[in-house]
Amino acid sequence: METMAKLLLIFLAVSLFMYLILRGYTKKKRISNRIQEFLPGPAAEDSVIEEEKRQPLVKRFIISVSLIFKNVQFNEKTEKTLLEAGSTLKPEEFFAFRFLTAAGFAFLSVFVGIPVYLSPIAIFIGFALPKFFMKKKRKKRLQQSSYQLIDVLGMMANSMRAGFSFMQAMQLVGKEVPAPLGPEFERVVRQAGLGMPLEEVFEELVERVPNKELEVVVRAILAQRKSGGNLAELLETMEETIRGRVRIMEELNTLTAQGKMSSWIITLLPVGLGLYLSLVNREYFGPMLEHPLGWAMLSVCAVSIFIGWLCIQKIIRIEV
pLDDT of residue 14 exceeding 80, the answer is no
What percent of the chain is modeled with pLDDT above 90? 39
Confidence of residue 49 (pLDDT cuts 50, 70, 90): very low
Please name which of 271, 309, 308 lies closest in space to residue 125, comparing C-alpha atoms.
271
What are the pLDDT digits (tens) for 92-119? 889 988 988 998 888 888 887 777 777 8
CA atoms of 203 and 214, how far apart (whole Å): 11
Question: Any idea which of 73-87, 109-123, 153-167, 180-194 has the lowest mean pLDDT?
Answer: 109-123
67 or 16: whose pLDDT is higher? 67
Q: Which CATH superfamily is domain 142-248 in?
A: Type II secretion system (T2SS), domain F (1.20.81.30)
Question: Any idea which of 25-34, 166-175, 232-241 has the lowest mean pLDDT?
Answer: 25-34
What pLDDT is attached to residue 280?
87
Please report, for the chain, the start and end positions of each structural domain, with discontinuous segments joined by +: 2-119, 142-248, 249-316
- Quick one: average pLDDT of 236-244? 93
Distances, alpha carbon 213 to alpha carbons 86, 134, 233, 258, in Å: 18, 22, 17, 27
What pLDDT is attached to residue 61?
77
pTM over 0.75: no
CA atoms of 210 and 138, how far apart (whole Å): 10
Mean pLDDT of the chain: 83
What are the pLDDT digits (tens) for 290-299? 888 988 998 9
- Quick one: average pLDDT of 48-58? 57
pLDDT of residue 6 exceeding 80, the answer is no
Helices 198-208 and 76-85, interaxial angle, to 10°? 90
What pLDDT is attached to residue 253?
87
What pLDDT is attached to residue 71?
78
CA atoms of 76 and 83, how far apart (whole Å): 10
Confidence of residue 120 (pLDDT cuts 50, 70, 90): confident
